[in-house]
Structure formats: structure tokens, C-alpha cells
Chain A
Amino acid sequence: MVLCCLLMGMSVAGAESEPAPLTIADPFIELRTGPASSYPVFHVIDRGEQILVLRQKTVWFKIRASDGKEGWVNKQQLQQTLLPDGARLQLSELQQDAFIERNWEIGMMTGELEDAPVNSVYGAYNFTKNFATELTLSHSTGNVSSSTIYKVNLMMQPFPQWKYSPYFSMGLGNIDVDPQATLINPEDRSNQIGQIGFGIKRYLSRRFILRFEFNDYVVFSASNDRDDNEDISEWKLGFAVFY
């Protein structure tokens, strides 16, 4: 009895992993040998025939026809197929709305920190449409030293629906400065930093965002030897993927 139940469970699970067949509604769809428009069309499937979707690479879908032939169909053609209940297939299309409603964002940026090249990676979590918190790790390599910046900041994006959406940020963190080994008296430094910045995010397509920002850092380096805090600026351009 238990074995029977297990077998039944397995067969149900097996049936679930197989997606439902789709019926072709266009006069025909074209099968290509690879997932790009430059690959040749080697087969066409006529209206009324059924296909199974096997996998997806970018906007191309590998399908299997009822005669066993396998090939790649683009998203536009796949949208012209019918579901088992006769309705037209609607594949989800990410738009600006998905960008506004996003929760997580991971990206990388590159630019200049006080004339030295800087690379950074960041992860952000959006509490609401307008507010997010962001964790950034930056690495800069200058002529006399390289520095690593860790910072956490709060971001405000007042108009997420705009095509070029501005944002403002404030954060706190730490900068570790590691002077070049060839200098005479190298001295490692680690200081707290405060940051304010502004930037622009532009939704590109699917899951991609283009981003440009400008930051101003105050390095809390004032001590007995040094009278003033340092002020450094940074610009960065990068892209991100959101979920």
C-alpha cells in the first residue's frame, strides 16, 4: 500500500515536471538549429500541431515537435501558440513595472575615485518603491596606494516611474588605504567615512538597469597629526540585475 502510494506520488511528480503541450496557431513556426537569429531555419511546424517546450536561453526556446524534431523558436513565435485550454500563451514580459516593484538588486560599477580607477559591487534591498538600503564594496587602485571601501547606505528614489529616475543616498562606512610597496615609508590607514551622493537609474530591458552616480566622501582622518578631515569624490557608471 505504502509502495503503491509512493509510486503514485512519483508518477504525479513526473507528470508535473513535464510542461503542457502547446498548439500552434500561426500558419507555421520556424525551427532554427541554435538559439540566435543567425542560425538557419531547418524545419517548419504547421498549424494545429503540438509542441513541448524543453528549455530557454535568453529569448529563445528549445521545443520538441510531435515527430521528435527539436529546434529553437524565438519568443515572438512562441507567443503565437495556444495553451491546452485554447487560450493564447502569454509569456511574462518584464516591463518598467517590474523595475518599480523590484525587491533585490545586484550590480557592478566602475569609475574614478579622485583620479584613480575604482570598481565596485553592490547589493540592494528595496523596502518600498522609494526606499532601499545598499551594501557596497569598492576597490580602487591609484599610483601611490590602493584602497578598499565598505559602506552601507540608505537610498531614496522619489520618482521610480521616470525613464531616467534620480536617486539620493547617504551612508557610512570604512576606507582601508594600502600604500604601494615601493614607497619609502608605507603606512596603512583605516578610517571611517561618511558619504552623500546622487545618481540616475535607467531601466533598460528584461532585468537590466543602467546606473550612473556621483558620491562625495568625508574621510574622518583628523587626528593629532592632521588638522582636517579629507574630502574625496567619486563617479561611477555601471549596470545591475534586479529580482
Chain B
Amino acid sequence: METRFRRILLTALMLCYSSLLVAQQPAADDDSVMIEPSIERIEFDEAQIDTEDLEILLMLGYLSIEDFGVNELLQFNLNYHVNESIFVQVSFGQSDGGETSYEIITQGAPLLTPSERELSYYNINIGYNLLPGEAFLGDQLAHNTAFYLSAGIGVTEFAGDDRFTINYGAGYRFLLNDATGIYTDFRNHVFDMDTFGENKATNNLAFTLGISWFF
């Protein structure tokens, strides 16, 4: 009996409360209409600004491997522009060693297996935009450019071994627009080789042309 009374009482109370809510609803709407501003407000959101400090590069060119001829080189770079002058760079490259003069003349047994002839490397470099500037195409177009220097360390895998490598070089960056650039780069990769008995430092020159995208 007691629970039934309680239930009826509660139901009545709920009904009263909900009708009150319904009665209040339109009043609240009227208020909001009165203070609604007629101008649409545009917020400035910093996250909307397109930040372009990272740059990916695809480079093609030639690598002269000491004693193993000149061969095609494919290289990928990822640049991070720390400030207007300095950038850090990670690069991966791949090429193939040709035949040595000895192998060509004697027509004897090859010194390296085909897989040992594959050359690949990675480098971590620091670059400096030494001469930022502008290049003018005709009297209407101006393009931002930079002559940069960069150097770093890495590892080259060639002739079956990993070889500690230092590399240094210079290049020219020509920006087609704010997001795309054209590169030309000249670089020396120095690593030790002991394949022919004595251990000697080899200088391996690379010339590459590339295209880059900022993102």
C-alpha cells in the first residue's frame, strides 16, 4: 500500500516538473533570439596556418665510386628547416658499383659478387643557407633561391661491409613556388676501403639534380 502511494505521488510530481520544463522552453528561446548577434564572427585559429618546415626531396644523378666507375645514383632526403639559415637532413641513397679497370683488362674472375656491388648509404647532415637570394626570370617573375653548404656523417654499405662515411658538399635551391623547389647538389662521400689489401680513404663524388616538396 505504502509503495503504491509513493508511486502515485512520484508520478504526479514528475508530470508537474515536466510540464514546467515545457512551459519554460519557449521563454528561453525568446531570450536567445534577442541577444543573437547579426554579424557572423570569424575566429582566428593558429592551427589553420599551413606550416611548411619539412621538405622531402627526390634526387637523381651520378656517383663516382673510386675504382668502380661512375654509376647512376638515386637519393631521398628529408629536410627539417630549423630556422631561416639552418636545416637538418636525413638522406638515403642507392647506386651500383661497376667493374674495376683490373676486371676489364684481365677478363678474370670478378672481385665482388653482384650483391656486394650494390651500394647504399644513409647520412645525417647539417646544412646552412649561406647565400639566400632571388633569381629573376624576365621582368615579371622572381624566385627565391639559396646556395647552401652541408656536411654530416653516416654509413655506406659497399663491397659487403658497412663503412663509416663523412660527406660534405654544396648545392643550389631554386624555389618554383612556396611549396616546390629544384635542387642541384655536388657532394663528396669519404669512406675507407680495404677491398684491395691496403686500407685507404676513398673520395666518391656525387652530382645530383632533384625536386622537393615542402609540407
Contact = CB atoms under 8 A, between A and B. Distances in A.
Interface stretch (B10-18, B63-71, B82-90, B182-190): B82-90
A60 interface: yes
A55 B81 contact: no
Interface stretch (A33-41, A127-135, A163-171, A217-225): A33-41
Contacts of B129: 36
A141 B162 CA distance: 6
Given A33-B134, A57-B214, A58-B83, A20 B161 contact: no
B36 interface: no
Interface stretch (B19-27, B47-55, B93-101, B205-213): B47-55
Interface string A145-186: 010000000000000000000000000000000101110000
A55 B50 CA distance: 5
B44 interface: yes
Interface residues of B, number: 40
A61 B80 CA distance: 17
A17 interface: yes
Interface string A38-68: 1100000000000001111111111000000
Contacts of A180: 161, 194
Given A36-B132, A38-B132, A141-B164, A119 B84 contact: no
A208 interface: yes
Interface in B27-66: 41-46, 48-53
Contact of B48 (A17, A35, A83): A17
Contacts, number: 99
B189 to A, nearest CB: 14
Nearest to B84: A36
A9 interface: no
B163 A141 contact: yes
B88 to A, nearest CB: 8
A89 B44 CA distance: 9
B51 A56 contact: yes
Given A57-B53, A60-B84, A119 B160 contact: no
Interface of B: 41-46, 48-53, 80-85, 88, 90, 116, 124, 129, 132, 134, 142, 144, 153-155, 159-164, 178, 194-195, 214
Interface of A: 15, 17, 19-22, 33-39, 53-62, 83-85, 89, 91-92, 108, 110, 116-117, 119, 139, 141, 146, 178, 180-182, 208, 239, 241
30 contacts: A17-B48, A19-B45, A19-B49, A20-B42, A20-B44, A33-B134, A33-B142, A54-B50, A56-B50, A56-B51, A57-B52, A57-B53, A58-B81, A58-B83, A60-B84, A83-B44, A84-B41, A84-B42, A84-B43, A89-B44, A110-B153, A119-B154, A139-B155, A141-B162, A141-B164, A146-B161, A178-B162, A180-B194, A182-B161, A241-B80
Given A57-B51, A59-B84, 10 more contacts: A20-B42, A20-B45, A36-B84, A37-B84, A56-B51, A57-B214, A92-B46, A119-B153, A141-B155, A141-B162
